[in-house]
A and B are shown apart, each in its own frame.
Chain A
């Protein structure tokens, strides 16, 4: 669906995307993960055929965005970071006018709009003005709108940023269903739980480059240990958490020092914790958990992610 070689995007002197290679096969849920400003959105905009490529090669659905923009966009669904809905039109009309942009006959657009309102659970809001919808509902409407042309490839830029937890879960559920239907998803996110939930494959971007690539599980296996022991000490400790790190450095494969806690990486978190207690250390709070993508980031060069 997407293939890129040495893809670059420059804005004047600033390099937003610095030579990335990508291959996204049909049916995959592919994620761009990374801090804000890492080049995710710039990459997405080039794939969406609305941003000219500065260098390298890009093919989307087998076509070159520079010469076949309208043909590529005809088969894409795009859910931008800002909703870009017409807030003065009602919910259903937003879908109807959008479907017409793809040259679909009016009757087909009407049927499709009703189907999609059902799918995103907005049927009872069909006549409501977009202005009156909650943030989560607007997002769902934007997703419905991006599906009006039955796209082969759905691009979602930060789909759940700014939504409350409940709204995020509703949205994730809808995206799961699309994935199950075989729609190829490409999404950007700076939420690690979102990437873990939705993506078959991830690339982690930092400063315009890809710094890691694999399935969420692969990334965790490669870049972290099975379990993590989190230790939090009181604020009164001399030298803060950094000073304590030396005392436990030999108890784990790796120790990360965060401003508010120590993370001890090992295969067996409880065993590590027991050894910490044997040393006579009394952390104010402890947590033993599985490694997540967040731990991968702490280990990757893209440290700016945790800032």
Chain B
């Protein structure tokens, strides 16, 4: 209790005398301990899923099913084999899943069930800092998932160049973040989680199946091909495939990057806006 308060209760210090607010970067840094503990609590589960799931997919679809597929590299976006074609698709699909799973039910819980955000907003933390800290955590989760996936796949000889594989890491993190940010914004405005289940069925799963992960979208009828090419996953898959199969085309790659970057930026802005509307009322 400051003594000046008791000595002169009518004192009203000018706002200029108040300490300056901590920067958003500082506020994000203050949440590292929290997210690190969340990670320690969940890493074994997530590691198993980011190790085992991709391995099962690659073996079943890439190696075993792919063994029946004997196609011209021209029809497989320049990939030397179906395995080499499908691996970047699956890894991009995997980062989408990680991104969305970290910002769907966990965000709902933070608002509605455990109300962790409600506890956080009572401290100097601000909504933008809460959103950015959680997305930073998602980026870290993606980094681990992507690194594990690539290490598991390296022995299959599907990564054309080491530098391509290395460049694919930040690209895949961006893909996952674009999905995570938009999903954060979407979930933050929901009143119940039933819509989330629907989104998984009508958006995430079809996107995974039809956005060029398993077959070239040129196989689709023209209208659906256009639709597939509008999805963020198609951009993520194409860009990843360019890097892992050494077929990088500068202009096309830039379009993918700008699309994904813009989506991540929009999602972040939307998430801040919708979470603010939920928490600061």
Residues of A within 8 A of B (CB): 1, 3, 11, 23, 25-27, 48, 50-52, 59, 62-64, 67-71, 73-74, 76, 78, 80, 82, 84-89, 93, 96-98, 100-103, 106, 145, 149, 152, 182-184
Closest chain B CB from A16 CB (angstroms): 10
Q: How far is the CA of A67 from the CA of B124 in the complex (A)?
A: 13
Give chain A residues whose Cβ lies under 8 Å from the Cβ of B20.
Answer: 71
Write out the residue numbers on chain A whose beta carbons fall within 8 Å of the beta carbon of B33: 96-97, 100, 106
Check B115 against A84 for contact (C-beta < 8 Å). Answer: yes
**CA of A248 to CA of B125, assembled, Å:** 61
A25, A73, A103: the one within 8 Å of B30 (CB): A103
Residues A50 and B124 in contact, CB atoms below 8 Å apart: no
The interface residues of chain A lying within 8 Å CB-to-CB of B9 are 23, 25-26
Q: Mark B25-40, 1 if CB is under 8 A from A, else 0.
A: 0110011111001100
Most buried by B among A63, A69, A84, A106: A84
Is B122 engaged at the interface, CB distance under 8 Å to the other chain? yes
Please indicate the chain B residues that have their CB under 8 angstroms from the CB of A50 in the complex. Answer: 121-122, 279-280
What secondary structure prevails in chain B residues at the interface with A?
A: loop
CB-defined contacts of A76 to chain B, threshold 8 Å: 122
- Provide the B1-30 mask, 1 if CB < 8 A to any CB of A, else 0: 110011001011101001111100011001
Instruction: Collect the chain B residues with CB atoms within 8 Å of residue A27's CB.
Output: 1, 6
Q: With CB as the reference atom, state the residue of chain A lying closest to B117.
A: A84
Q: List 17 A-B contacts (CB under 8 A).
A: A23-B9, A52-B281, A59-B12, A63-B13, A67-B15, A68-B15, A70-B21, A70-B125, A70-B126, A74-B19, A74-B123, A78-B122, A82-B115, A84-B118, A88-B41, A89-B41, A102-B30
Instruction: Determine whether the beta carbon of A103 is less than 8 Å from that of B114.
Output: no
Within the complex, what minimum Cβ distance (angstroms) separates A174 from chain B?
A: 18
Which residues 101-142 in B have Cβ within 8 Å of A in the complex? 114-116, 118-126
Question: Judging by beta carbons under 8 Å apart, are A62 and B37 in contact?
Answer: no
CB distance from A235 to the nearest CB of B (A): 45
B153 to chain A, nearest CB (A): 32
Sorted nearest first, the 9 A-B pairs with minimum C-beta distance are A84-B119, A101-B123, A78-B122, A97-B34, A70-B124, A84-B115, A26-B5, A70-B21, A62-B13
Q: CA separation between A149 and B115, bound complex, in Å? A: 20
The smallest beta-carbon distance between B130 and chain A, in angstroms, is 10
Q: A102-B123, A102-B124 are in contact. Are A26 and B280 (CB under 8 A)?
A: no
Seen from chain B, the residues whose Cβ lies within 8 Å of a Cβ on chain A are 1-2, 5-6, 9, 11-13, 15, 18-22, 26-27, 30-34, 37-38, 41, 114-116, 118-126, 279-281
A-B contact count (CB 8 A): 115
A3 to B126 CA separation, bound complex (whole angstroms): 24
CB-contact partner of A64 in B15, B19, B41, B119, under 8 A: B15
Inter-chain contact B1/A71, CB cutoff 8 Å: no
CA of A87 to CA of B1, assembled, Å = 32
Shortest beta-carbon distance from A238 to chain B in Å: 52
**Further contacts, 18 of them, CB under 8 A, given A25-B5, A51-B281, A86-B34:** A25-B9, A26-B5, A26-B9, A62-B13, A68-B18, A69-B21, A70-B21, A71-B19, A73-B122, A73-B123, A74-B123, A74-B124, A82-B118, A84-B115, A89-B41, A97-B33, A97-B34, A103-B22
User: Given A50-B279, A152-B2: A101 and B124 within 8 A (CB)?
Assistant: yes
Once A63-B18, A71-B19 are accepted as A-B contacts, the answer to whether A98 and B281 lie under 8 Å apart by CB is no
Q: How far is the CA of A184 from the CA of B5 in the complex (A)?
A: 11
Q: In the bound complex, what is the Cα–Cα distance between A74 and B240 (angstroms)?
A: 44
- Chain B residues positioned under 8 Å from A64 (CB to CB): 15
B80 to chain A, nearest CB (A): 46
A25 to B123 alpha-carbon distance, docked (Å):
22
Q: A63-B18, A82-B115 are in contact. Are A97 and B37 (CB under 8 A)?
A: yes
* Interchain CA distance A286-B245 in the complex, whole Å: 91
Contacting pair A80 B118 (CB below 8 A) = yes
Most chain B CB neighbours (cut-off 10 Å) among A76, A78, A86, A88: A86
A276 to B5, CA, bound (A): 54
